[in-house]
Every structure is written in C-alpha cells, then in structure tokens.
Structure 1
C-alpha cells in the first residue's frame, strides 16, 4: 500500500510540475510559445513522459483553465461573504473578478481566449466554468426578486455586466487601456450604473 501511495504521489507531483512549467513558459513568452517540447526542456523530462499525462498542449490549457475557474470562484465567494446586501455583494464580486484577471493574467487569457488560440467550445464544457455564472446569477436574482435562475432577465443582466467588465479587462490585457486609476473609475461607474438599473425591479 505504501508503495502504491508513493507512486500515486509521484504521478501527482509530475503532473503538477508539467502544469507549473507550462504556466512559467506562458508568463515569460506568451501562450503562442507553449509547446510540449519546451515543457519537457524546462522540467528536464523527455517529451514522451509529458504525453503520458497530457495528450497535447490543448489538454494542458484545459487543465490550467479548470484550475483558473476554481481560483476565480474562490475569490468571488470570499468577496460575496464580506457583504450582506445583494447590491454590495454584486459590486464586490465584480471588483474581485477584475482583480483576479490582473493577478492571474495568463490564466485569464487562457480561460477566455484573450491573445490565445482558444478551444472555447471545449472550455465551455468545464463544470468549473459554470460556477462564476451560477454565483453571479444567484445574487442578481436575489437583487431582482427572481427565483428562477434560468430567467432570461437574469441572463441578460449578467451578460451585460460581464461584457463591460470583460471588455475593459481585455482592452488592458492588450495594453490599450488607460491608467489604473481611470480604469478602476470606469469599472466602478459601469458596475454602479448597471446595479442601479437592476434595483428598481425588485419585487
């Protein structure tokens, strides 16, 4: 049993090393520079060993994105827990979303196809990718007095907010934005305006 546990632990460590090396390469040279050969060189393994764990670099992108969604969901939950009122929760969650994007630029780019060749259809099948949507929808629904989380109204409000926040993030990830101070003011104004359009619809 001890031997099996050791083998399992070594496999988990090797897998983590592969993912860590991949993220290191992306941080230094961008997603376009990622290859199985480069990963092997960084961790001093042979390429066949890398393929034992991941069939191709798209599979690595998928796993890194899955981990990214888990981290994002954790940040959103923490932001939500600091407030009682839905409006405040929603504002804090979007700020946390913004902060996550810039604290984890490379992960965010992979998760949403910013400056990457995104296999978006595959990414959308990740169960973890639905978690942020579920969390935002729950708060929007509470704010609007709507219990049906599949409501088209909730969906519209979410995508309007997400489009603004994600758009602003993408502009800045491409180095086409303004100063951090201006960006945060734009973010605050946009979120505040959208929340105000939701509030009057409370039952």
Structure 2
C-alpha cells in the first residue's frame, strides 16, 4: 500500500490534510521534506509531529529514504525551529509574546503561559522533558529565550530531547508500516508517563536539597 493510501484509510480532518501535505513534501524532496515539516511544526503547533514523524518512518520503510537520514533531517528541523522561537522570545520578552500569541490563529495563549510557568519552575529540565509533551514541546523554546538561557546549553538539550522523540516516532512508523496511525493512540499515555517521571525527579531534587540543608545545619 502507498503512503497516500495508508493516510486516506487512517485519518481525516486536519490530521488527514496535514498528512497528505507531508507526504507530498517528502515525495518532492525526500528526507529534507520531513525536516521541513518538523521545522514548521515548531513554528505552527497545529502541525503535529505525532503525525509527521511516523509518516517519515513509513516512507523509510518503503525505501524512499533511509531511517538514519529521516532522523537526522527531522532533528535538524527540530533544532532550527526551536532556535527560531528562542530568538523570538529573547527579542520580544514575555509581555509582547503573550500579546502576539493572542493574535495568532490556532495558538492558545494558555499554552504559552503554561510553557513559561513550566520553564520558571524547572529550567533546563523543562527544555529537555518539554520536547516529549504535546502543546509544550514547541512553545518551551519561547520562555528559554525570554529568560536568556545560554544558547549552547539550550541547543544541546533540544538536540538530545528532540533526537530521542524523533527517533522513537520514526522507528515506530518504520516498524508499524501501514498501521502507523496506531502511534497516535500512544501519545496521551506517553504524556502522562513523562509527567510522572518529571514529578519523581522534582521530588528527588527537593529531597536531596533538604538533606543537604539538614547536614549543613548539624
């Protein structure tokens, strides 16, 4: 079955439209098209990477390009898109970003505020783990820019986090083939698993800090 047929049988509405567009772009320019789609996903969150990445894996399984090529191009797209938002956040600041978000169709101001609050509480961990959370994954770059997080550190965290995310979903699409849309069912479960991991890390961090304070007071 072709990629187009697999999409027509699996999706409808906006996911179907996005999926067909991604297939057209990958068909025209190959793996760089998957990278371009992921770059745009960072800038326009309504384009879901949960659809783009498994489709890149599906195309790789059909021999249109290699798996490593797909991972490399999509991760490059993730990093470039993240730095674009980082630069916007750094240039505009919090107040102007919120006002701008309120004027952009399909962008929820609440998601922007959530990303800012997340970064304020968790810093570097927010940038890394935020790459695994729908709704936060793209927007977490903005508060990193607002707070002027060191660009090299931001880039490294984004590269590793996005590389893991992209690899998992591309390999899933590669293995599942025409059943790639099964990945969409995993996303909500994965989101709660990541939240649980972050909560455990925060608890561990607090416990370690408290133990150190008690040791010093003694």
TM-score (norm 2): 0.37
Higher relative contact order (CA 8 A, sep 6+): 2
Q: Which has the larger radius of gyration?
A: 1
TM-score (norm 1): 0.39
